[in-house]
Amino acid sequence: MSTDADKKALFDAMVAYKVDGIKAAVTAASANGMKATEIIDALAEGMTEVGVKFEKGKLFLPHVLSAAAGMNAAMDMLDEELRAGGDAAATSKGKAVMGTVEGDVHDIGKSICSTMLQCNGFELVDLGRDVPKQKFIDEVKGGCNFCGMSALMTTTMTVMKEIIDIMSAEGIRDKCTVMVGGAPITQAYADKIGADIYGESASETTRKAKAVASD
């Protein structure tokens, strides 16, 4: 099978969102000599398409979660090669901390975004939901150069500004790219609080983060 055919098979398997199908496509591509980084790139394109279909209402949450599980399985299968020398360096686009801010327990959108960032070469620290402000700060101090915050309620979106203000006060604001998103968040609000990236969707956030990482 040609590389292009393998790429299509991987893409199609991801869009079909079946874990066994994704794992089979990864096994076949590896057997044909496809590099782990190339496999992840092809799967990432499929995951992006899954995100688009989800946003258009053509796929639903269980389908997205199944696709994400398939991607995680693929990452586990390819872990040894991805960590080996050149491949690890080639795939690293940065280290991102992601979390839903304190007081907010919604995390589906954030989890999808975390998966897509990981699929696209970012090292991920996903803190989950209802994350205390200090945890974001600690992760940035610990080396995360991207900080993603999600809020799904108007009552918690102000926490994003508080975290950015703490970063500024502690002299670490310029050490990371701040990404914000969630239902009540807008580009205007992101600009107002001094965030670097606003993403209306997981795919948009990932695209913008990749652009920053490649600068």
Q: What was the pLDDT predicted at 85? A: 41
Reading the block at residue 212, the tokens are 């920053």
Same domain, 53 and 103: no
Task: Give the integer Cα–Cα distance in Å for 158 and 128.
Answer: 18
One-letter identity of residue 75:
M
185 neighbors 151 (Cβ within 8 angstroms): yes
What's the domain count of the chain? Answer: 2
Same domain, 17 and 118: no
Give the 3-state secondary structure of residue 177: strand
Q: What was the pLDDT predicted at 165? A: 98
What are the average pLDDT values for consecutive 10-residue runs of the chain, which has 215 residues? 86 96 96 87 84 84 87 84 53 88 86 81 92 98 97 93 98 97 94 96 87 90
Same domain, 84 and 114: no
The conformation of residue 105, written as its DSSP 8-state character, comes to -
Q: What was the pLDDT predicted at 51? A: 77
Q: How far is CA 27 from CA 34, 75, 186, in A?
A: 10, 12, 41
Q: What was the pLDDT predicted at 89? A: 41
Same domain, 170 and 76: no
Q: What was the pLDDT predicted at 87? A: 41
**Nearest Cα to 113, choosing from 200, 211, 15?**
200
One-letter identity of residue 7:
K
